[in-house]
Structure 1
């Protein structure tokens, strides 16, 4: 197994959790919040998708799927097109209302496809390349991708947790 194979597997696990977390939920369930300051399932999945899209497109030197494939228009959210959800407050979270689980998974799947197209052929030398020298130590491509995987898995797990609470609450 190569480093690229490990990355492909890790991103595939995110996709599985995303699909499981939103499958069959209606717009109200996707927007439900456990308390007024909590993140909804819809916001969590939108945000993790935006982060992956933003970060991978940046290092791959590609246009984000969000704009290239018209997802920004399909979602119709009241944010700037470059917004990825970082720093959102409670009102911003409440503004993320989606029409269906399929919209969320459709966008995530498109991001996932672009991600796999990029990571599938990476070499160990590629992963050692510095992609952000503004940090100490400088951030390599491998560190950036692992960071995206870690962040996305946390948010996908949070979405699955919220779903479980909502299901048990009836």
Structure 2
């Protein structure tokens, strides 16, 4: 049952990326709704990096990012960066267009569906991260990623609304 719900959750957020970012000019992707706010494109990149990183880790797999996408983006970040802890200045070095972001989104989504399809009924209880107390289960990690991505999709929609009124 849960294995049917998780792909639907990720598919809905994936569709939202296309709704929000499809055809946006680079200026809109890089605009900040406030002086210290993160740009729309960076927020999307960060959320996709988190999804890619965290889901690949569930199956000890390779991130989509490391299959050519890091080179395509050519960002001045550490190759394993996912956006956590970046300063406003570092965020300001982000560059991408909507086609590149959505290409990465499509690749991450396809890989996400492959990973979820590998999971069985007992997998939600499997411990995937013992650095926490209590240790994190696969089910908790999936919920965490879905929650994170959903919040970031909402932030992008909200930021675009603010930017459209200015």
- Tell me if structure 2 keeps the 8 A contact 1:59–1:131: yes
Deviation string, structure 1 residues 104-144 (Cα, Å, up to 9, x no partner)? 01101101100100102422301110001111111000100
Whole-angstrom CA distance in 1 between matches of 2:23 and 2:165: 16
Indicate yes or no: 2:108 matched with 1:111. yes
**Displacement, 1:145?**
0.8
Residue of structure 2 in register with 1:86 after alignment: 84
Whole-angstrom CA distance in 1 between matches of 2:44 and 2:59: 22
Indicate yes or no: 2:129 matched with 1:163. no
Whole-angstrom CA distance in 1 between matches of 2:118 and 2:130: 24
Whole-angstrom CA distance in 2 between matches of 1:20 and 1:168: 18
Whole-angstrom CA distance in 1 between matches of 2:46 and 2:23: 19
- The TM-score normalised by the length of structure 1 is 0.94
Supply the RMSD in Å over aligned alpha carbons.
1.0
Whole-angstrom CA distance in 2 between matches of 1:22 and 1:97: 14
Residue of structure 2 in register with 1:72 after alignment: 70
List gaps (5 residues or longer) in structure 1: none
- The TM-score normalised by the length of structure 2 is 0.96
**Displacement, 1:168?**
2.3
Indicate yes or no: 2:117 matched with 1:120. yes
Identify the match of residue 93 of structure 2 among 95, 104, 108: 95
Residue of structure 1 in register with 2:20 after alignment: 21
Runs of 4+ in 1 over 6 A off after TM superposition: none
The number of residue pairs the alignment matches comes to 166
